[in-house]
Amino acid sequence: MKKDKKLMRMKLPVLVLMLSCACCYQLAGQDTSRVSVFFAGDIMQHESQLISARTDTVAPYSYDFDSWFMFVGEDISASDVAIGNLEVPLGGPPYSGYPRFCAPDELASSARDAGFDILLLANNHCLDRFKRGVVRTVRTLDSLKIPHTGVFADTVSRDASYPLLFEKNGMKFALLNYTYGTNGIAATAPNFINTIDTAQIKKDIDKAKASCPDIIIACMHWGVEYRFMPEESQRRCADFLLRHGVQVVIGSHPHVVQPMEMRYGPDGKANGVVVYSLGNYISGQKTIDTQGGAWVKVDFVRAKDGRAEIENCSYGLVWVWKPTGPDGRVKFRLIPVAKAERGFFPLSAPEKARMDAFARNARNVLEKNNIGIKEYKN
């Protein structure tokens, strides 16, 4: 966790201020030539996680999710901007896990306090609590001063705030977010959900370009669950996005990791990043390959000619450790795999064996298929 929670929370107002201003703000003493952006996969809340987060023994319950992130907060906050996929609506009580998710507001505030600056909402569970869930999720995140995108209360708010623009260290970013679908639940007017429609995406990219960003990022909820390799539709969509001006494509939904690619221009310089799936960041899923996932950090640098370029991209693996607490309940703790492998955490022999199996399988996929993107073992 960040060492100073007040310092963590100061990061957000600065970002919100930048989002609302036409001019470019530059904070004194900051490096104006570099920006690092951290991406995490699916932030989920299954029933087992909900029960674990209760702070009361009888209803009505209060919830505390801070401990989920206590061992990864430093990794999140080490980057200038951190973005995660919130795959649960904040629809108010009663709360629930799969198949129709609904999380307490405390999950969002804990993600913010862990260092997340922006939350993505366009995913197949965003309509699990229908119209009320959409409206309440948006309003709650606004009240918590957490920038978000992908799901909108109405088209007026979409027109006014999409693409999501943010600025850091003198670099301007445009963020896009789409989902393949919403589990067969149709949006109720005036709600608007960004779905993958290339004609609409092209219009959104053109609108983003009109704001003259240095970098355009597209976060896509796509693919087939539990498959380690991307579908041809994912590859075609990624190529479409890059061809039309997106530089970074980050995927989610399969709940397992999929390959990552650095793309290069004719001059041999990196000009694009495609991550087909980061897998789960934190969830209550129980199979070896879904109990962990990956994060990706993309570093941008201002070149001598003034253009922003991709300097580097690296990934790390995370694992959901589930120790039993003094009260007999299972706890959920996100831990960096590289640190766990060096003995930083008191995993039992069975827990260590499961984590090792996850890491072995994930690295088998990523080390064999990645192009130009290597693991950062912090």
CATH class of 5-375: alpha beta
Domain ranges of the chain: 5-375
Region for 44 from its dihedrals, namely left if φ exceeds 0, alpha if ψ lies in -120 to 50, beta otherwise: beta
Judged by average pLDDT, the poorest of 22-26, 163-167, 204-208 is 22-26
pLDDT in tens, 123-159: 999 999 999 999 999 999 999 999 999 999 999 999 9
Which pLDDT belongs to residue 31? Answer: 59
- The model carries a pTM of 0.92
Token pair for 293: 């996932």
Backbone angles phi, psi at 195, to 5 degrees: -110, 160
Using CA atoms, how far apart are residues 151 and 173, in angstroms rounded to an integer?
Answer: 19
| DSSP 8-state secondary structure symbol assigned to residue 225 | T
To the nearest 10°, report the CA torsion of 328, 333, 338, 343.
-30
pLDDT digits (tens, 9 = 90+) for 71-119: 999 999 999 999 999 999 999 999 999 999 999 999 999 999 999 999 9
d(Cα 356, Cα 73) in Å, to the nearest integer?
A: 22
pLDDT digits (tens, 9 = 90+) for 222-280: 999 999 999 999 999 999 999 999 999 999 999 999 999 999 999 999 999 999 999 99
Work out the widest C-alpha separation in the chain, in whole angstroms.
64
Q: What is the mean pLDDT of residues 202-219?
A: 98
**What is the C-alpha R_g of the chain?**
20
Residues 6+ apart with CB under 8 A from 275: 39, 249, 250, 251, 258, 260, 261, 296, 315, 373
Residues in CB range of 334: below 8 A, 6 or more apart = 68, 69, 71, 72, 281, 282, 318, 319, 320, 321
Query: What pLDDT, in 10s, does the model give residues 1-51?
Result: 444 443 344 444 434 434 443 333 232 235 568 999 999 999 999 999 999
Report whether 39 contacts 295 (CB < 8 A). yes
Q: Is 310 helix (H, G, I), strand (E, B) or coil?
A: strand
Question: Which residues partner with 56 through β-bridges?
Answer: none
